[in-house]
Amino acid sequence: MAGSALKRLMAEYKQLTLNPPEGIIAGPVDEENFFEWEALITGPDETYFEGGVFPASLTFPPDYPLSPPKMKFTCDIFHPNIYNDGKVCISILHAPGDDPMGYESSAERWSPVQSVEKILLSVVSMLAEPNDESAANVDAAKTWRDNRPKFAEIAERTVKQSLGLL
């Protein structure tokens, strides 16, 4: 199984290097281990995270693409869909099948047709448009909902930290 996962990851890496999505750089931490990746994601234009550069890690299971990778920001980022430890919580990274909580449809969850590029683009969309109804960080979701000026202030500080300006 790991052999087919490795082939798939190598092909996805090649695609990402030949045709990288705007504002995203990603690849293996070490070309000896294609199951551990690092990524840099630029905060999308005209959002609270605009101009920031946010490092993240992706860890792929041996049965990829049957199971999704785990993604975690390796910097502080205050966002409704990012746990305090940096773990990303979006539907595309949830195991395939029906949601036991009944919140997501199986079509929104992971399937083998997804790719690293689709994950990263989904995360960029998540940065631009948080889902405060399914919060990983309740404080961030509450601030997003109830106090946008404070959310903007915290996000601006996060952007400056990501650039080494604080």
Report residue 133 as tokens: 């109804």
Q: Structural domain of residue 139, as residue ranges?
A: 2-162
| Percent of the chain with pLDDT strictly greater than 70 | 92
Distance CA 110, CA 119 (A): 9
Residue of 43, 38, 19 whose CA lies nearest to 28: 38
Q: What is the pLDDT of residue 106?
A: 65
Considering the entire predicted model, what is its pTM?
0.90
Mean pLDDT over residues 40-46, rounded? 95
Local confidence band at 107 (pLDDT 50, 70, 90 cut-offs): low
What are the tens digits of pLDDT across the range 74-83?
A: 999 999 999 9
Number of domains observed in the structure of the chain = 1
Q: What is the pLDDT of residue 140?
A: 96
Give the catalytic positions in this structure. Answer: 89
Q: What is the pLDDT of residue 119?
A: 95
Distance CA 135, CA 90 (A): 10
Domain with 103 in it: what CATH number? Answer: 3.10.110.10
CA of 111: how far to CAs of 6, 67, 107, 128, 142, in Å? 17, 8, 8, 23, 31
Distance CA 75, CA 55 (A): 6
Residue of 4, 69, 14 whose CA lies nearest to 36: 69
Q: What is the pLDDT of residue 103?
A: 63
| Whether pLDDT at 102 is above 60 | no
Local confidence band at 133 (pLDDT 50, 70, 90 cut-offs): confident
